[in-house]
Structure 1
Amino acid sequence: MSSNGAGKLLSEYRKGLRPKLDERNRLIIPTLDIIVALKPKWVIFENVPNMKNTVILDENDRLVNIIDYIKERLGNEYVGNAEVVDAADYGIPQNRKRLITIFTRSEIGKEFFELTNSFIPETTHSQNGENGKKKWVTLRNAIFGLPELDARKGKEKNEAFHELHFVNILDDKKYTWVKYAAEGDSAFNNQCINPECGFQGNRRHGATIDKKDGINKYNKDTPLYCEKCGSLLPRPYTIDKKTGEKRIMKGYVSAYKRMKWDEPASTLTQNFQYACSDNKLHPEQNRVLSIYEATIIQSISDYDYSFKINGKLAKTGVIRDIIGESVPPKLIDIICRNILLIESGEHKKLKNAYKQLSLL
């Protein structure tokens, strides 16, 4: 939810109207009931960045920002805050921004927080590798050279390589759209494939800001037929049930879009194995990501893992949901190792260094 959205809800609430809220966000209430009862030394929450602006109706039917609610419930015994981090900044081959909220009642932790105002470890990577950091780990670094797959029957899996290296089969129509999409581009921008024409200047798809509501909306005038020869373009389309007429499919330029080899992957979601999902097509092969490739991008493959239950592989949908909803384990590993380092008292060296600098 944007800050504007949160402001609108507050305005409705003050007018005596009961705003529409996602009831799932109120799960923080029983979660904090447990935390307050058990009083753990450290508490870590993870969610989408916009959670920072989310409001809930608390147990007293009071509209409150969720981060403020956490602080209120934990009281003065805990210190901490919420910060947005990008997994790519820690050597994970994926741009995945998450809101990490950490609080502690540890005396050593409190001392560290007073010194740094953060429990988030220093980043190790950056886009260009400046200030002594390594460059982001790209898709090329992560999955280039794996056995090829194709979204055609008989070529969609390679179980001899890995049981999770498989993709969905695409029908002829979708396969054509995907086939002509260039690296880093969407099938909505495919150009004429008529061998007698081959015109490459057809208007591209895009989005514009609606003047009335300020919402970014996809263009509705994207051509489906070549503007030079009139041939059907290999762009996503639907067929009108009443007229039988083909029309451009509703969708943003991020749909049916190939990723780029030399960038981290975009954020994996539960729908990463669907061609229409945001920016999830393989950079050059005619397919989406395999489940196995997703475990690499999510850093799951860095650890001893299994998706088997009683010796049987879980359903694909379940595995896909787990990957899409999970936090990259490497990110949590780095955060928890940093907490252990704080608890070891290593930060006191930093504190002494600051003292020395203040005397200069």
Structure 2
Amino acid sequence: MQAKERISDTGKARIAGVDLFCGAGGLTRGLEKAGVNVTLGVDLDPECEFPYEANNDAQFLLKSVSEVSQTELASAFDGAQYKLLAGCAPCQPFSTYQQGKSGPSDDRWHLLMEFARLVEETQPELVTMENVPRLAEQDVFLEFTERLEGNGFHVSFEVINCADYGVPQQRNRLVLLASKLGEIKMIRPTTPQGKRKTVKQAIAKLPRIEAGEQHPKDPLHQAAKLSELNLMRIRASKPGGSWKDWDESLVADCHKKATGKTYPSVYGRMVWDEPAPTMTTQYYGFGNGRFGHPEQDRAISLREGAILQSFPKGYKFVRKGAPVSTKTIGRLIGNAVPVNLGRAIGQSIVQHIEEVEGRKADQEEAA
């Protein structure tokens, strides 16, 4: 019997996961799709509770990771043969968007050490973390990996492009995998260059809406209003272009200055036949990046941004009938781990377990 068959015969309960800094559930949903049974998500943002529990077969714990105890995680892992501690510590302190504004005094830097504390207290067999690439340059990341290795983990990490793993978006992320069972690494790209999912494949079939309009059947399919000036600007914008394509009369004063000319990736449209640019927490604003719809005169909708983060089209972010806060939902979606990246991470872990059990079975058979 092959190792893969042994895994599927026993079901998801073989690998139980806890998702720290779980947000709206992107990583959890991806791990579940790969066959990992995520039992608990932890986050201190109360806005995450509804989308997390409404879309995933896991409980939500409203708590800072710095306050989570060993006992709480032990109960979540109860009965599992393999324990996985997963998460994405807040990336803002390490993001290039901070441009040096955040340093070691930022309390969020220390959350990675709280992650390490929980690894040491619960001793799972498996650990995964994803974050912005710049984290790998920080001393706190070196300390984190050294603590994992000191606890018997084999550690690997690399910067990957989410577009290589079924996400219709150019998004570079640092992915760490660690195992006490042996060497572990990410699976090979599932959608490499030439096969990447495009904006057209992801959102072209959604109903047409105007700027400032909300679709009656999907409250999240709503687009921000545009001023008359911005409406003229988006009509003058080319897919893949920027404000540099406009007539001089449309260019903002800040961009006419020498310092403003270094920000070309704003006020642009996406390109149908390419992956989207990186989704940020403000992707719903036309002036916040290259977030203009490829052909409609508006920024992409909240739902379109979620789909470009590879959330399922029916993923619920607010209760039925509840008001939709653009700023809140945009933040939850922009901060999320893309679901398909989570799935690839989960597939890497499941494949690792299959290989470990396959070697074990071969050794027992040879004995």
Shorter-chain TM band: 0.5 to 0.7
Alignment check: 8 A CA contact 1:299 1:329 kept: yes
Counterpart position of 2:111? 27
Equivalent of residue 235 in structure 1, options 251, 259, 280: 251
**Paired residues of 1:257 and 1:279 also in contact (CA < 8 A):** yes
Pair 1:342-2:358 in alignment:
no
Match of 1:171 in 2: 227
The amino acid of 2:214's aligned partner reads K
Offset of residue 2 of structure 1? 10
Q: Distance in 1 between matches of 2:244 and 2:105?
A: 34
Distance 1:178 1:103, change over 3 A: same
Of structures 1 and 2, the one scoring higher in RCO (CA 8 A, sep 6+) is 2
Q: What residue number does 2:188 align with?
A: 122
Give the C-alpha shift of residue 308 in structure 1. Answer: 2.3
User: For the residues of structure 2 that align with 1:119 and 1:270, how far apart are their CA atoms?
Assistant: 29
Q: In the TM superposition, what is the alpha-carbon distance from 1:94 to its structure 2 partner?
A: 0.6
The TM-score normalised by the length of structure 2 is 0.64
How far the C-alpha of 1:66 sits from its partner, in A, is 2.4
* 1:22 CA drift (Å): 3.8
Q: 1:247 Cα deviation (Å)?
A: 7.8
Aligned in 2, Cα 1:68/1:265: closer, same or farther, shift over 3 Å? same
2:158 corresponds in structure 1 to 83
Percentage of matched positions with identical amino acids: 29
1:97 matches 2:172? yes
Match of 1:159 in 2: 216
Q: Which has the larger radius of gyration?
A: 1
How far is 1:67 from its partner? 2.7
Partner of 1:259: 270
Structure 2 spans left out of the alignment, 5+ residues: 1-93, 363-367
What is the number of equivalent residue pairs in this alignment? 260
- SS of equivalent to 1:285: coil
Q: Superposed, which structure 2 residues align to 1:1-360 within 5 Å?
A: 21-54=105-138, 65-74=139-148, 75-105=150-180, 107=181, 110=182, 113=183, 118-128=184-194, 135-151=195-211, 153=212, 156-160=213-217, 162-191=218-247, 224=248, 233-237=249-253, 250=260, 252-301=263-312, 305-309=315-319, 312-345=322-355
Question: Which whole-Å deviations, capped at 9, do the CAs of 1:212-238 have from their partners, x for residues lacking one?
Answer: xxxxxxxxxxxx3xxxxxxxx222346
Mapped to 1, the partners of 2:271 and 2:257 lie a distance apart of: 28
Runs of 4+ in structure 1 deviating by more than 6 angstroms, as ranges, are: 246-249
TM-score (norm 1): 0.65
Q: Secondary structure at the match of 1:101?
A: strand
Distance 1:249 1:235 in 2: 14
Q: Distance in 2 between matches of 1:96 and 1:126?
A: 13
- 5+ residue gaps in structure 1? 9-18, 55-64, 129-134, 192-223, 225-232, 240-245, 353-360
8 Å CA contact 1:89–1:126 kept in 2: the answer is yes
Q: Does the residue aligned with 2:275 lie in a helix, a strand or coil?
A: coil
C-alpha distance in 1 between matches for 2:160 and 2:288: 23
The answer as to whether partners of 2:95 and 2:132 remain within 8 angstroms in 1 is no
